[in-house]
Amino acid sequence: MQTSDNPPFPAALRLFSAAVIIVLIVGAGLFFAPALVKARWPWAVTPFNARFLGGFYTTEMVVMAALLVWNRWSPGRLVLVMAFIFTVIVSVASFINFGYFDFARKAPWLWFVVYLASVAVSGWFLWRSRARPSAKGLTLNPAWRGYMQLESAILGFYGAGLLLFPLTFSSFWPWPIDAFHAQVYSAIFLAGAGGIYLVWRSAPREELLVLGLAQLLIGLFAIIGLTITDAAVHKINWSATGTLCWLALFGWIGVSGLFKLYAASRHRPQPAS
């Protein structure tokens, strides 16, 4: 890996990454041990929402681990941009839906502290590096570039719809979604759209790997989580048009991530001479 155009971040960011991963372990528990974590979550979550959130937080934990391991401008630029978008949107959704939180408990206070701190730290690091260009990237062919532009636009449009018209844009989901959860979930799509838009012009291999892995895991965890949860509660109509559309949406996200991983694997960095 070249260091001239891909310098390391300050050690403070590695400390921040480690702290975020520790917090995300709790969120990942919603997927792997929902009965244990749900009672400690900042608001009440249904079984399907718990597994869906847990799958995303597990994905985010893996992405932050990539930043912790590499700790360089690439893939750090991508990770921080996506983290900033996600935490800003979730923070806004949380303030809009204040009534979901019982501030007599500690968990809601910790939720707001963690999210506002994440917004501040990721935003500060991005601001400090705002003038730095991306690391040297792969040359994507016109078909890939066109596809990634379209992908970013679709995810961005759907994310904006969930944020602004949450009940309308979540109406086809396999389980009932209230406005608060729809707005929280909008952050996933908007962060993905932002990350894809960031790399479609210039795609450093590390960023393509992280982006592809994130999309693959989001698709997998969403579908697996739905399947596991319904095996216990039997509430999903698997032949319903909405369910099939939802499965197609997350299946597409996962397969798109798999293709990005394949594209990145074909371009291995050249050894320094």
Round to whole Å and give the CA distance between 197 and 194: 5
pLDDT value of residue 272: 43
For residues 2 and 134, is the Cβ–Cβ distance under 8 A?
no
Q: pLDDT at residue 270 above 60?
A: no
The reply to whether 137 falls in a domain is yes
The reply to whether 2 falls in a domain is no
In angstroms, what CA-CA distances link 162 with 6, 167, 172, 185, 193?
A: 35, 7, 12, 7, 14
The reply to whether 113 falls in a domain is yes
The reply to whether 5 falls in a domain is no
69-105, pLDDT tens digit by residue? 888 888 989 999 999 999 999 999 999 999 999 999 9
For residues 125 and 13, is the Cβ–Cβ distance under 8 A?
yes
The reply to whether 3 falls in a domain is no
Q: pLDDT at residue 2 above 50?
A: no
Helix-strand-coil split of the chain, %, nearest 5: 75, 0, 25
The reply to whether 272 falls in a domain is no
* Side chain identity at residue 132, one-letter code: R
Domain that holds residue 120: 11-265
The reply to whether 270 falls in a domain is no
Total count of domains within the chain: 1
149-184, pLDDT tens digit by residue? 999 999 999 999 999 999 999 999 999 999 999 999
The reply to whether 4 falls in a domain is no
* Side chain identity at residue 120, one-letter code: A
